[in-house]
């Protein structure tokens, strides 16, 4: 795997020794939002967007850890059941990451990384508003979540209008100070 040729932290090395993660990185075929096919090139694309000019070393490590596992357990989802709760790839990813990461916010972001996109698709229906309120109650570093959501949401051929929506909702809820500057968000289709 190409990812093993990258400069890796000790935590990343330990995670990449696990066969279930390697299987997940090799899983997938080209599809909407992920024309790259397998998960590994998606992770590498996210890693390439982590910028040492705007991210601290600690932020870069957190973003890399989230990226490495966030989509790597899609292969464990039972397609015959609803892809929610314990049958969502974010749930499986969190369970895996708990063996290596002890920061609750990072684990929450891993588990709920798709939730803003899913809520946005149903907005402003009452059920979406309920899901939004429930998400806001989770113990999350919202600046970090937004940063990951921007980077992840800008990869492949994803529909990016949920990025600006997420930032605006977080600002309205008083969860972030400002988020990415508007110059960046203007380059993302809203």
Supply the pTM of this predicted model: 0.93
- Indicate the DSSP class of residue 51: -
Interhelix angle 89-97/57-70, rounded to 10 degrees, is 130
- Indicate the DSSP class of residue 173: T
On the CB side of 96, how many CA atoms lie within 13 Å of its CA? 31
Q: Convert the pLDDT of each residue in 119-129 to its tens digit.
A: 999 999 999 99
User: So what's the pLDDT on residue 179?
Assistant: 63
Q: Convert the pLDDT of each residue in 45-63 to its tens digit.
A: 999 999 999 999 999 999 9
Number of compact structural domains in the chain: 1
Cα separation, 65 vs 178, whole angstroms: 24
What burial class does residue 124 get, using C-beta atoms within 10 Å of its C-beta: 0-12 exposed, 13-18 middle, 19+ buried? Answer: exposed
């Amino acid at each position: 795997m190409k990812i093993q040729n990258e400069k890796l932290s000790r935590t990343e090395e330990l995670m990449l020794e696990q066969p279930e993660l390697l299987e997940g990185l090799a899983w997938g075929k080209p599809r909407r939002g992920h024309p790259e096919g397998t998960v590994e090139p998606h992770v590498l694309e996210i890693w390439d967007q982590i910028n040492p000019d705007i991210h601290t070393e600690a932020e870069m490590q957190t973003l890399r850890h989230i990226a490495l596992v966030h989509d790597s357990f899609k292969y464990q989802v039972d397609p015959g059941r609803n892809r929610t709760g314990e049958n969502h790839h974010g749930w499986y990813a969190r369970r895996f990451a708990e063996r290596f990461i002890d920061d609750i916010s990072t684990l929450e972001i891993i588990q709920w990384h798709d939730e803003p996109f899913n809520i946005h698709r149903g907005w402003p229906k009452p059920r979406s508003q309920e899901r939004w309120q429930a998400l806001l109650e989770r113990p999350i570093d919202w600046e970090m979540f937004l940063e990951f959501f921007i980077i992840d949401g800008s990869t492949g051929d994803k529909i990016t209008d949920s990025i600006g929506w997420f930032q605006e909702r977080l600002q309205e809820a008083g969860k972030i100070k400002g988020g990415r500057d508007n110059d960046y968000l203007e380059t993302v289709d809203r």
